Amino acid sequence: MNKRERERLTAQENTLVSLGFTASEADTLRRISRALRRWHELECGTDAGCIERDDATGRPRFISYTGRRWPVADRERGALRRLGRIVGLRNTRVWAASDAHAVHVHAVHPYVQTDPRGAALYILRPGDVPQGIKPESCYTRGICVY
């Protein structure tokens, strides 16, 4: 890791910490984003094959271009579960602190972008997405976690 990458990661961590996440949670969010991005890459396909979900069971299987299929661990479900837990903890922690200090703080919401060409995770604050507009159209106004 060079100096520029370290500065970028430090700025990202500082931004997430200023939103109410802990440093450990900020690092976990980064790892979740990387796991989701890799999962989305595999869903689109690589030189070896791609991941598809079974229609009947919903379980993921890796399908090689030779037609061979085998089950793979569902890393997407685990990453989304961890993401929900971390954001939920942050929102309850910040709400509890705001009640004690009479500060009005809003909850944040995650947005998972499934295109593997960019970051997979964005943290949306109130006001990042205007009322009546879907997050898919303006999620880049949020905080990019990469």
Digits of tens for pLDDT over the chain (146 positions)?
899 999 999 999 999 999 999 999 999 999 999 999 999 999 999 999 999 999 999 999 999 989 999 999 999 999 999 999 999 999 998 766 655 554 556 889 999 999 998 899 999 998 888 888 888 888 888 999 98
Alpha-carbon distance of 88 to 25, in angstroms, equals 11
pLDDT at position 80, please?
98
Domain ranges across the chain: 3-42+75-145
User: On the CB side of 99, how many CA atoms lie within 13 Å of its CA?
Assistant: 5
**What is the value of pTM for the model shown?**
0.88
Do 13 and 27 form a contact (C-beta atoms < 8 A)? yes
pLDDT score for 44? 95
